[in-house]
């Protein structure tokens, strides 16, 4: 859905959209949307800025950072965002966002896509690292076996002789 400035000049625009799992492309590797993404809210014009408020909800599947098994992630998020036109901003490679305006985004042209707003909010809701469980043992760095399911039979790795000098600093002998 395109939220046009022309529309907003007349009146606020209410939206309620559902995006199927295969409809959105996230630029995050290991992320898969497994349920519809439901977005609802209102967009209005506040001076020269587009104000978008609403909420979204979906179900995602991420890869465990240790064993790459799937991890379910529920996303429910409210948002209250402001978008300023890039066309009216100073011409710079990077634009400094003043303190207190961290929720400020930018749009180009005569409006913005709701899909872009939703996609950004989903990505911002993700944890830095997802782990299938706190005691996940991960993959063996030598044979690649998932150590949560099987016991690795690899021998203890040989210590690189260049690191031998650090042993004298280690509290564990």
Reading the block at residue 46, the tokens are 């506040």
Give the pLDDT confidence score for residue 68 in this predicted structure: 92
77-132 confidence digits (pLDDT tens): 999 999 988 876 555 555 565 556 556 888 888 889 999 999 999 999 998 899 99
Given its phi and psi angles, is residue 30 left (phi above 0), alpha (psi -120 to 50 degrees) or beta?
A: left
- pLDDT band of residue 143 (cuts 50, 70, 90) is confident
The reply to whether the predicted model has a pTM over 0.85 is: no
Give the pLDDT confidence score for residue 112 in this predicted structure: 92
Distance of CA 163 to the CA centre of its chain: 37
Rg (CA), the chain: 23
- Alpha-carbon dihedral sign for residues 117, 121, 123, 128: positive
Give the pLDDT confidence score for residue 109 in this predicted structure: 83
Q: Residue 155 pairs with which residues in a beta bridge?
A: none
Give the pLDDT confidence score for residue 88 in this predicted structure: 66
């Amino acid at each position: 859905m395109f939220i046009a400035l022309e529309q907003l000049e007349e009146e606020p625009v209410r939206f309620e959209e559902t995006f199927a799992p295969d409809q959105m492309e996230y630029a995050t590797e290991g992320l898969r949307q497994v349920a519809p993404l439901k977005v609802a809210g209102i967009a209005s014009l506040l001076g020269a800025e587009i104000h978008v408020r609403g909420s979204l909800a979906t179900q995602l599947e991420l890869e465990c950072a240790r064993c790459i098994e799937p991890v379910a992630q529920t996303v429910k998020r409210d948002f209250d965002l402001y978008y300023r036109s890039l066309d009216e901003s100073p011409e710079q490679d990077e634009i400094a966002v003043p303190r207190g305006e961290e929720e400020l985004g930018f749009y180009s042209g005569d409006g913005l896509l709701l899909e872009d707003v939703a996609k950004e909010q989903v990505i911002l809701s993700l944890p830095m690292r997802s782990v299938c469980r706190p005691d996940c043992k991960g993959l063996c760095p030598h044979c690649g076996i998932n150590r949560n399911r099987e016991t690795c039979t690899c021998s203890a790795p040989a210590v690189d002789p260049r690191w031998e000098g650090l042993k004298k600093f280690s509290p564990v002998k």
